[in-house]
Structure 1
Amino acid sequence: MMLSGLDHLLAAGLVVAVPLCGSWSQRVLERATAEGRPDARMRDYHLTMLTLWSLAGLTLLLWGSAGRPGSLLGLMFSDGMRVLIGAGATVLALLVLVSQWHGISRLDDAGREQLAAQVGSVLQLLPQTSREYRTFQALAVTAGICEEVLYRGFLLWYAAVFFGVWPAVILTALVFGVAHLYQGVAGVVKSAVVGLLFGALYAATDSLLWPILIHTAVDLQAGAIGWALRGARRGAV
């Protein structure tokens, strides 16, 4: 598969520029919240959505201009056994999320405070008001679609040209983890593991739509957890 200079540039941006921009954005958010700016999270959510949709749109434009089929990017459901694998993995992931939420929803005040401590600094990224929560839901859908197109769709394909599919799954998982450097070391490790699972699912099913569904559900639940813990967060301030 012939790669263009724009392919190399986009890959370099995902590997280098995105982690740096994420860390910068996190520092800006921390300063703004420390100054008591009520619009800090909303501005961060909007900027993140604009960035992700712009990068995903650029990727799709690049893909189409190169005459590459959408199926090569995984933007379709596969057939046969691969559909069963994708559907089964998605249902299992959703059941795990439902089980986790059931446990969280039954926590008492002490349990919520303990969970808030475990979430750590990431908690300040999560919504505190109903307006922020609604916007975060849009952000979760954005991340579920755009990050999968960028990392599992484009970047995995790009890396597979050089290293093969399964080494590319591992490499892109590491890059995805580093892209979440703003969440700290724990966030990097967690994101890398999640990226590895999403990449393996994509490689096994040839469809990006299953990882998109699960990724969106995971991020939606993260927002719901942040909303549920808002009382514990205020108590810690």
Structure 2
Amino acid sequence: MNGESYDNSGAHREHRIETVDKKTLLFEVSVFLSLIVPSMVLSFFAVRQGALTFTVTAWATMLRDLALVGLIAYFLRRNGEPTCRLGWTFTNARTEVGIGLALFIPFFVGMGVLENSLRAAGFSMPSTPLPTYLRPESLPQSVLATLLVAVVAIAEETIFRGYLILRFKGLGASSAGAVALSAFIFSLGHGYEGSAGVITVGAAGLIFGMIYLWRRSLVGPVVLHFLLDFIGIVLAPMLRP
């Protein structure tokens, strides 16, 4: 993407990404990863019981993700980079939404087949049901869960696809390498799902990244991410007996 330029609607305009030296980018990425990776790794040791509730967890998650997006916005502003560098362009928003919707069913089925195959091959799954602080148990909590899913889809795609892929490429990684690195880091936050879940999430991250590079837009990946989480976090608990 180096050398590309956009205006606020996606048309061409000069940007300053190439004036940001690698030392600055390395510092940015180091600070950013130091903030997110430790807490994500702790997901492998998630506490199954305790005083946490879904409401507390939902608000804490949304505030954390919004704070990280705020940090990204600060970095972009400091460097003079437009937000369209991350893939937030809306000139073809309807097309991008349509692509996300059209890809969802094969994506969802494929992720299900992969996870079931991994479990059949002996990869671990959660030894106990998800704790109550990870699932809504009332109508108000389901409404909150929908808001959570929307915030997380937008924030995480901004973080893992838009920002990290851009920065990894700026530090010299190939497009494939940047997508793989961002997908790996993305998967670290799902240790509570067992190794089968972590690998499946990593594969989803790879697909999100490939769509992002293909379309140069975060809209499609956000749609896929939202629908996937909406089914797992909002609909699935409603359908449980």
Quote the offset at 1:23 in angstroms.
5.1
2:206 is the counterpart of 1:193: no
Quote the offset at 1:127 in angstroms.
1.5
Deviates more, 1:130-139 or 1:2-11: 2-11
Structure 1, residues 96-121: CA drift from partner, whole Å, max 9, x if none? Answer: 58989xxxxxxxxxxxxxxxxx7764
2:140 is the counterpart of 1:127: no
Map of 1:55 onto structure 2: 68
In 2, Cα distance between equivalents of 1:43 and 1:87: 31
**Is the contact between residue 29 and residue 44 of structure 1 (CA under 8 Å) also seen in structure 2?**
no
**Is the contact between residue 149 and residue 229 of structure 2 (CA under 8 Å) also seen in structure 1?**
yes
In 2, Cα distance between equivalents of 1:98 and 1:218: 7
Quote the offset at 1:94 in angstroms.
3.6
TM-score, L = length of structure 1: 0.73
2:165 is the counterpart of 1:156: yes
**Is the contact between residue 56 and residue 150 of structure 1 (CA under 8 Å) also seen in structure 2?**
yes
Of residues 38, 42, 54 in structure 2, which corresponds to 1:41?
54
In 2, Cα distance between equivalents of 1:13 and 1:187: 27
**Is the contact between residue 122 and residue 183 of structure 1 (CA under 8 Å) also seen in structure 2?**
no
TM-score, L = length of structure 2: 0.72
In 2, Cα distance between equivalents of 1:214 and 1:227: 20
Map of 2:8 onto structure 1: none
2:102 is the counterpart of 1:92: yes
CA RMSD of aligned residues (A): 3.1
Q: Runs of 5+ in structure 1 lacking a partner?
A: 101-117, 232-237
Amino acid at match of 1:71: C
Structure 1, residues 39-98: CA drift from partner, whole Å, max 9, x if none? Answer: 62211111111100100111112112211012211100466xx986x4564132344589
Q: Which runs of 4+ in 1 moved over 3 A?
A: 3-10, 12-17, 22-29, 86-89, 94-100, 118-123
In 1, Cα distance between equivalents of 2:61 and 2:43: 9
In 1, Cα distance between equivalents of 2:222 and 2:137: 26
**Is the contact between residue 136 and residue 237 of structure 2 (CA under 8 Å) also seen in structure 1?**
yes
Map of 2:39 onto structure 1: 21
Query: CA 1:3 to 1:221, structure 2 compared with 1: closer, same or farther past 3 Å?
Result: farther
Query: CA 1:199 to 1:190, structure 2 compared with 1: closer, same or farther past 3 Å?
Result: same
Q: Runs of 5+ in structure 2 lacking a partner?
A: 1-17, 111-124
In 1, Cα distance between equivalents of 2:237 and 2:205: 25
